[in-house]
Amino acid sequence: MANIKAVFSKLKFFWLAVFFLWIKTYVLYKVGFRIHTESLLQEFLLFFNPLSSAVFLLGLSLFFRDRLRNIMLILASLLATFVLYFNLVYYRFFSDFLTWPVFYQTSNVQDLQGSVFELMNGTDVFLFVDIVILAVVLFKKKIPTVNLKKREAGIVLATAVMIFTFNLGIAQVERPQLLTRSFDRELLVKNIGMFNYHFYDAYIQSQSNAQRAFADSSDIIEVKHYVDANYKEPDPEKFGIATGKNVIVLSLESLQSFVINETIEGEEITPFLNKLIDESYYFDNFYHQTAQGKTSDSEFLVDNSLFGRGSGAVFFTHAGNEYNALPEILNEEGYFTSVMHANNKSFWNRDMMYQSLGYNQFFDIDYYDVTEENSVGWGLKDIDFFEQSIDLLKSQPEPYYSKFITLTNHFPFELGEEDRMINEYTSDSGTLNRYFPTVRYMDKAVEIFFERMKEEGLYEDSIFILYGDHYGISENHNRAMSMFLGKDEITPFDTIQLQRVPMIIHVPGLTEPETIHTVSGQIDLKPTIMHLLGIDSKNDIQFGSDLFSPERESFVVLRDGSFVTDDYVFTKGICYDKETGTDVEQSYCEPYFEKVEMDLDYSDKVLYGDLFRFYGENKQDAETVEGVTS
């Protein structure tokens, strides 16, 4: 014991660095990430959890000798600070923490530069104050070097492990089966700490990578049993109503439902979409289900009726998988399939992923005339994009399935004065203020697109699917959002409700438009589109169901394990009454827990195991698998 005390007493400079990193991490939890706790035990865990990783990470420097040891200690502190800072910048927009698969997305960095700078703040320099203090103490005060044996350094690391074991034990009491909820990253950070979460995430990613190697054909049979049991028959009156028609899918960047039928200073934010809704099928309880892959996640959900990854982006991590995607199915039905998006083909790894999904053609930036005059923010303005896309659309053989991905309404929501049709909002959030003019511009662009479709004689022979791809306003702007919505605060319940995005199915000549209130999500679009085109999806592996099916359950699962029904919202471990927004006994939400877990687990099993490779080499005979499972 005396020897252990001696080890600790002669490492004063080390413990000063540990103290700085520990307290800095906790303050960042509260101020930067705004992590909320609901009990003294949760607050204790939040305060205590940075200690073990601080001791461990900085303790690695103790294996160096003499003066180099203290220099490495400062460098380790600097590295840890950068980890905190990168998470902070990422969190400011995505309201999420970094994961290892995000680093696969390095090809996106150049296009993201403007957004990253927007997320930086002058006060961020305070994160590095302790590093400066440590450097001054080391070089001005002449910290004496001490003799330290490797065994003594090992004692420090062992201490870190004991602290973490104690931390984890309490966390497991507070939240049983904590480590099974790898998709709930805030829960993990809150309980085991930022750095320990990153270590655990690395372990989870290695496990998921191993799943493909150990998967076999029996796995897809198990999944097929599950999806067959949950299949919903289509509405016979709507099945095939669009047979042979062209399908136009508009992925509307960052469009959330809270702007629909709302005004700024008396001016409608989305006048055209408001009018289109009155002439269409409109789903007002439709949720995006994306995670860190954002727009690419929404594409994956729509094309596959599978969930994206809980971390990173499928478009990067699993572009080489086999899929039974909507474009490939439509190819077999005689459709020409394409994507139109005036961005670099490698962004989100689309050039590779679209091949795996079966698209015939990707009209990327090289097919558009993009100049400084017709661009803003992320690239070609939406009005120019749609105008230039008309000729590309006409060049395709019919019938076709074409997806358009807009750009202008993208964070940080930049727009020239000449393109503003409504004024900015006035709040303490520049991001929210700028959001409304760019939404209005996008609405006008869609209106012009519809007008051009009519002028070119393309409108009557098409159906139109329009949906918001993901949220545009993150939780970082909750105070301004509460002001716009006239609320005292934005609760976790409100946050889930703000994940609703517009979803419109417009069929020219529709005589009975309808607003449909079924709770639904992007995962439901694939079977819905197939059934509208008269294509049976019963033999398909899908986790959504036809939005028009009279058998469908009004229910949606979000990627983080939250879910919504007609009556309840469950998120962050709390069950809310949907009508009042107040928390209720968890027993009201418990009947749905098993389905949520199985939907996410089986979908992940298909993805990580690359199970469609067992679905027939060319996926031409789904009934073979059906026969095996029956």
CA-atom Rg of the chain in angstroms:
26
Q: Please state, as a whole number, how many other Cβ atoms lie within 10 Å of the Cβ of residue 96.
A: 18
Which one of 295, 406, 495, 571 is the catalytic residue?
A: 295
Give 238's contacts (C-beta < 8 A, 6+ positions apart).
531, 532, 548
The partner residues of 563 in beta bridges, in order of sequence, read 557, 570
Structure tokens at 605: 């099993």
| Phi and psi at residue 260, to the nearest 5° | -65, 130
Start-to-end C-alpha separation, the chain: 67
- For residue 616, is it left (φ>0), alpha (ψ between -120 and 50) or beta? left
Sheet holding 336-340, edge to edge: 361-363, 336-340, 400-405, 246-252, 462-468, 503-506, 281-283, 514-516
The burial of 262, by beta-carbon neighbours within 10 Å (0-12 exposed, 13-18 middle, 19 or more buried), is given as: middle
Cβ contact 251:445 at 8 Å: no
Reply yes or no on whether 295 is catalytic. yes
- Of 366, 347, 370, 361, the closest CA to residue 393 belongs to 361
CA pair distance 534, 531, nearest whole angstrom: 5
CA pair distance 389, 385, nearest whole angstrom: 6
Structure tokens at 488: 């005292």
CA pair distance 184, 199, nearest whole angstrom: 15
Structure tokens at 175: 């939240």
Cβ contact 465:251 at 8 Å: no
Q: At 29, which amino acid appears?
A: Y
Q: Which residues are catalytic?
A: 295
